[in-house]
Structure formats: structure tokens, C-alpha cells
Amino acid sequence: MSAAPLRFALIGTGRIGRVHAANIAANDATELAVVADPMIASANEVSARFGGTAVSDPLAAVDPERVDAVVVASPTPTHIDLITACIERGIPVLSEKPIDLDMSRIDELRPQVRLAASPVAIGFNQRFDPAIAEVQRRVAAGEIGEIEQLAITSRDPGPPPAAYIAVSGGIFRDMTIHDFDLARFFVGDLDEVTAVGSSLFDAGAREHDDFDTVVVTLKARTGAIVTITNSRHSTYGYDQRIEAFGGGGLLNVENVPASLVAASNATHAAARGPYVEQFLERYARAYANELDAFVEWVRNGASPSPTFEDGRAAQVIAEAAHRSARAGRTVRTDEFN
């Protein structure tokens, strides 16, 4: 006889929250029991579409009598308090990244997480993309020998609104943090961070003293070198590529085309249209797989889900990159320990 579905509370009903709501509703192992958002109209809308009871108070959703697990998809400043509430009430929690924009708050919570009886997972969904996960497994299996170089490219189709940049913590904490986690996923601990950034085209980035174009070089404890290239705009779609190189060869993940149709004529050979336009489309399968992994952790106590420590480690690299780009020097990650 199969186990009853896990009852989930979803906190936050923005773009990411709605992705989680759809995945919880579609998964046979889960059901959406409570939807929480101070914007109750949005909570009602998600509840009507995907199930569950809508509430305006997020803490009211963290109720062990009503739910078995919580997904936190609310704004970053709320994450720490909601994770803390879940730990105190013994409810497993999957929180979107980053944990917080303040390292001191993350470190204050760290001992409590270590003693927690219930799982605390951080939503680095890209680890669960089928192509990325396959390359990582093959690298780990030694197919290309010891990894020597890892190149990660991530370019968004366009910059976010200036109001979002103002509260995001900047490109390294908001955007590149996914790439920092992927770097650790492939090469392990990272010791040195060198970052450079420019504001070339986005008025919002200039207004809020942020960058729209960055390159980061990381040195792993193994000696492997990682390069990360980010841009806030890409005319040809969502640019997401990874290249892993070692003495035994190379493995790479290419972009996902919006169409498999190619045209050839007198002026073009095998010409294709742009790549997919949004990360929600590019990583749709990754979000679903992320939920599966979290359910596995809740049910069986083992999972490949990124932990609180993974979230903290990625945040440390983001802080180091932020410092490096502004100070014009290489920053060691142990400056934050």
C-alpha cells in the first residue's frame, strides 16, 4: 500500500511559488494543503488553481497539524524567520535561495540547523536539471579524469526591474549564486575568488550600484579552475552552458532551443531560432526533480538535496565575489569563516 501524500504548505505565490504549486499538485507523492501569502488575492488564486486553503499569515501555514512539509518561496528577507519556525515546529522545509543577504544572520541560525530533527533544504534547482546532473555524474565517475577546468555561462534574456535590483543584494548574491553552487557541485570546496564587473547597459544596475556584466574566476581546493560568465541581457534567448574539461576529455551542456526546426537556404545553413526565453521554461524539469529529491529526504532521510551548509557555502562565495569586484583583489573564502 502506498504512503499517503505529503501535505505541503507553500509560502509565497510569485513566479517561483507558482512553479512549486504546480509541481506539488502534479506529484502523486504530494498535495498542496495550505497556500500562504500576505497578498491574499494571490494566495486565493493559487489555491483555486492548485488546491489547498489560502491564508494571509505565513506563520499560520507552519502548522504540524495541517502540513508535513513547507516550501518557502517568499521574498529573501523572510527566509530566516520561516526556516526558524519550521525547525522549531519540527517541519521539513525547502527554502528558495539565498538563505539571507546578511551572513551574520545565516551564521546565527547555523547551530540551530545542525541540531534540527527535520530536513532543511535550499533550492538550488539547477543541480537537478537532467543534462547538468548527467554531466556531473559522469565527471564524478572519472570519465574525463580529474576535472581541471569548468566553464559556466549564464546570460539572462533581459535585466530585471530596477526595483527588484534594489532589494536583490546584487548580481553575485542573486544571479551568480546559482553558478557558485554548480561550481561546488562539480569541483568541491573553493578557496579563491576573483571577480570583475561592469555596468554597461542597464540603468537599474547603475542606479543601485550593481553590475550587469560580470566574470568570476574561482580556484578550487583541488587546484581546478572555474570561470563564470554572466550577463543581464542576451538577444538570442536564455544562455545556459557548462563545459567540464579534464585530461580524459570534455563534457558539456548546450543551450536548449525553442524549436528543433532548422532552416537552410541560399544565405543560411541549419539556421535555428532563439533559445528558450525564460529560466522557468529552461529548468522546468529541474524544479520537478528538486521536489522529488526533497520528498525522498523527508520520507527516507537521504537525498541529494542541497543543504543549509550548501546554501551558506554559495553565499560565502557570493560575498567574496562582491568584495573582490569592488576591492580589485582576489578574496579567499576563509575570510568569511
Class of CATH domain 128-277+314-336 = alpha beta
pTM, 2 dp: 0.95
Equal fold, 6-118 vs 128-277+314-336:
no
The model's pLDDT over 192-235, given as tens digits with 9 standing for 90+, comes to 999 999 999 999 999 999 999 999 999 999 999 999 999 999 99
Residue 236 to residues 199, 250, 312: CA-CA distances in angstroms? 20, 25, 33
Low-confidence spans in the chain with pLDDT less than 70: 1-2
* 48, 174, 215, 225, 232 from 170: Cα distances, Å: 35, 6, 14, 24, 12
Using CA atoms, how far apart are residues 324 and 106, in angstroms rounded to an integer? 21
Q: Which CATH superfamily is domain 6-118 in?
A: NAD(P)-binding Rossmann-like Domain (3.40.50.720)
Measured between its terminal Cα atoms, the distance across the chain in Å is 48
C-alpha grid cell, residue 126: 539547477
* Cα(98)–Cα(112) distance, integer angstroms: 18
How many Å apart are CA 154 and CA 139, to the nearest integer? Answer: 20
| pLDDT score at 314 | 98
∠332-211-221 over CA atoms, to 5°?
Answer: 20
Sheet holding 120-123, edge to edge: 53-55, 30-36, 6-11, 69-72, 93-96, 120-123
Q: 181: which residues sit within 8 A by CB, 6+ positions away?
A: 97, 124, 126, 127, 306, 310, 313, 314
The CA-based angle 181-227-172, given to 5 degrees, is 50
Q: Where are the domains of the chain?
A: 6-118, 128-277+314-336
Distance CA 177, CA 173 (A): 5
Q: Which of 107, 42, 115 is nearest to 80 (CA)?
A: 107
Quick: pLDDT tens for 171-199. Answer: 999 999 999 999 999 999 999 999 999 99
Select from 32, 38, 48 the least CA-distant residue to 14: 38
Residue 259: Cβ within 10 Å count: 10
Cα–Cα distances in angstroms (integers) from residue 46 to residues 39, 82, 168, 285, in the given order: 11, 20, 24, 20
Instruction: Give the gyration radius of the chain's Cα atoms.
Output: 20
Alpha-carbon distance of 150 to 179, in angstroms, equals 11
Cα–Cα distance, 230 to 122 (Å, whole number): 22
Q: pLDDT value at position 2?
A: 67
